[in-house]
């Protein structure tokens, strides 16, 4: 990939570029997550919710014809007490470059601005890089949720208190 500049942006579904960004995110979803874990079918419904947000990292490749989505995070703040990070993903070829850490920090900051007291998420314990990222950011394992993703496929429920 050519030299690129990256920026974290909040998706505005009414913006003219939103459709293209969502298409990029859907393609990444399909590549990264198993079908039953993907937001592909529900992403439009999720974006319509007032308490949900989606941020993404776009890399404008030199000589390219537009922005390339290299990662994204979706979060929801259903109450003033807690929020959930429902999705965090980075394009495979762009991993281990700090993009996931930057997206996670930006999602947590947006929850903090809403004066949320706790942010939680679920992660497959087998995704060791993701678990390490969350721990580094200050998340702690609260519980193991048996069969969360599928039979014989559990999840850590992790949280971070914002005070």
CB 84 within 8 A of CB 116: no
Compute how many other C-beta atoms are within 10 angstroms of the C-beta atom of residue 136. Answer: 10
Instruction: Show the low-confidence residues of the chain (pLDDT under 70).
Output: 1-6, 38-42, 44, 60-67
pLDDT at 63: 47
Query: Distance (Å, rounded) from C-alpha 105 to C-alpha 94?
Result: 17
pTM over 0.75: yes
Compute how many other C-beta atoms are within 10 angstroms of the C-beta atom of residue 87. Answer: 22
From the list 88, 86, 108, the residue with the least C-alpha distance to 99 is 88
Handedness of CA 14, 15, 20, 22 (dihedral sign): negative
At residue 120, φ and ψ (nearest 5 deg) are -125, 165
Query: Distance (Å, rounded) from C-alpha 150 to C-alpha 77?
Result: 25
Architecture of the 4-120 domain: 3-Layer(aba) Sandwich (3.40)
Q: Which residues contact 19 (CB under 8 A, 6 or more apart)?
A: none
**Residues 113-154: tens digit of each pLDDT:** 989 999 999 999 999 999 999 999 999 999 999 988 888 889
CA distances from 78 to 53, 82, 98, 118 (A): 11, 7, 28, 12
């Amino acid at each position: 990939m050519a030299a690129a500049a990256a920026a974290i942006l909040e998706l505005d579904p009414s913006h003219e570029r939103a459709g293209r960004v969502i298409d990029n995110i859907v393609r990444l979803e399909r590549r990264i997550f198993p079908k039953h874990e993907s937001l592909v079918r529900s992403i439009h419904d999720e974006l319509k919710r007032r308490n949900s947000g989606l941020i993404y990292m776009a890399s404008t490749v030199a000589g390219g014809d537009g922005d390339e989505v290299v990662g994204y995070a979706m979060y929801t703040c259903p109450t003033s007490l807690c929020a959930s990070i429902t999705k965090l993903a980075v394009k495979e070829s762009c991993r281990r470059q700090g993009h996931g850490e930057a997206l996670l920090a930006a999602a947590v900051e947006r929850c903090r601005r809403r004066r949320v007291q706790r942010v939680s998420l679920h992660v497959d314990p087998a995704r060791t890089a993701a678990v390490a990222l969350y721990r580094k950011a200050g998340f702690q394992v609260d519980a193991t949720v048996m069969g969360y993703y599928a039979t014989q496929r559990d999840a850590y429920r992790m949280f971070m208190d914002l005070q």
